[in-house]
Structure 1
Amino acid sequence: MFFTTARQRGLLRTLGAATRRLAAVVAAGEIADPAATDVLKNLASAAAPSENAAAVAADRFAQAVAGAAVTTRRLSQGDARLNRAALRFAHGNPVAAAVIQAMDPDGWASPAARDMASQVRIAADACAAAMEAAPGAARWSLDGPEVHFFEHFLAAIDAPTRRRLGVYYTPAAVARRLASAALAAAPTSSEATILDPAMGTGVFLLAVIEVLESQARAHRASGAPSSTPRLAGWELLPGPLVVAHLLLGRRLAAAEDLSPDDLQLSIQLTDALARCA
């Protein structure tokens, strides 16, 4: 378990306080990157009619910056090749790219805003260090701290939103069982698509990749042909979406038995319920 001690929860609250201050400068228009401005407009347009759209957009963008800061710090403590691959994959999505760019204090319009961004990075580094010290943290496993960080973070800083939006992530054992069942039911064709409509930080898709890699290894050993379905993920919140990009990008690069051409993976920031209504 992670972030269960008083000290660890204190680190989350410190990061949450820095994140709220960053949200205030986001709402004040202090971010200089046009791509981030576009992301904020899209987030505001997705807010509920009863919500303050600009405030909701600023909060969610700042939370995404915090999540990205913690995850990229964890990535930087590991294999450099996998780190580069994760960042490259994340930069392929405009939302993830804008959030990651916002981690750079130079992308903010005023000294005060740059200081706020720096405070988020400092607090994120402390959280990443606590994750590194946790048992099993170096494994980057499905039940590791990177996958579940955002759930703990949102619980510490905005529990009502966490409950209202259902930010509860799937245990690794359940994700593996669902992944095996989905792949067994899917046609053995690259034209098939396996979609996670509420992706979170990507635990189900990570489990699917794990099973696909095992299957590819078995097929290669037997000489049997293999085919992989396309994978897709939809997520409502930008924070989990950015973390998922980083984790999935790293996992794909680490999958020695799957070549990049074997797998198509698409991730979108969208409301699955509204999209399917």
Structure 2
Amino acid sequence: MRLGVVGLGVIGRAMVRAADEGRVPASVAAVTTRTPAKAEAFLAGLKARPHLTDLAGVVEASEVVAEASGGPTVEAICRAALPRGRDVLVLSAGALLEREDLLELARASGSRIYVPSGAIIGLDGLKGAAAGRLDSVTMTTRKPPAGLKGAPYVVERGLDLDALREPTVIFEGSPVEACRGFPENVNVSAAVSLAGIGPRRTTIRIVCDPSIGRNIHEVEAAGEFGRSFIRIENVPSENPKTGILTFLSTIAFLRGREAHLVVGT
């Protein structure tokens, strides 16, 4: 598999490094980043250095294009890659919500858009439950102030997260609204909604908790299958907005795409 990577932050570097070390059945053909000068030091340390180019160059060189560059870039990546028959791996799943036009591009070309599990567990169970009657899905995300600072919702409302002394609900609504207000913080809610009952029927609650040092996600679901409760405490990566599990799940996806035994729904 020839992989192209857009973005060389924590997740992008993890994918490239995993391929370079032989931990995934892929070779990274090309990468692109907004900060090419900064990327040079990272690329220089690889055994097989990929070509540093622009988005068009990444699409041309790759079979699968992985987005690790943030929500604002998803549309451009999809419009460049899908009509060329390239599959697209989207980490910023919030950018896909209510974007039927991007899904239609994939259908027209026979390409696929993949959304890895990211920072959450249990999406296989939600997908299974959604095959029947799924009545409700509620997600609660708890993050320390550092994991929420700079989000448009926080900035626009002038919220002083450092002043909080106890867990405080700062948002409750749909994943559509949450991903607009917290585009780098709660993409996991988009994945949950896409696996379950959709972005308008799913509820997400965001709690800023100064007493914790991890990102905690809880998902409650109910339907004809019964009830489920999922909780995960994610250790943050060097980027406090991104948990380590996010890039580990991406590596697992790349392994599974070429696997002869596929486990899970």
TM-score higher than 0.5: no
Larger proportion of helix: 1
Higher strand proportion (structure 1 or 2) = 2
Q: Into which bin does the TM-score normalised by the smaller protein fall?
A: under 0.3
Question: Normalising to structure 1: TM-score of the pair?
Answer: 0.27
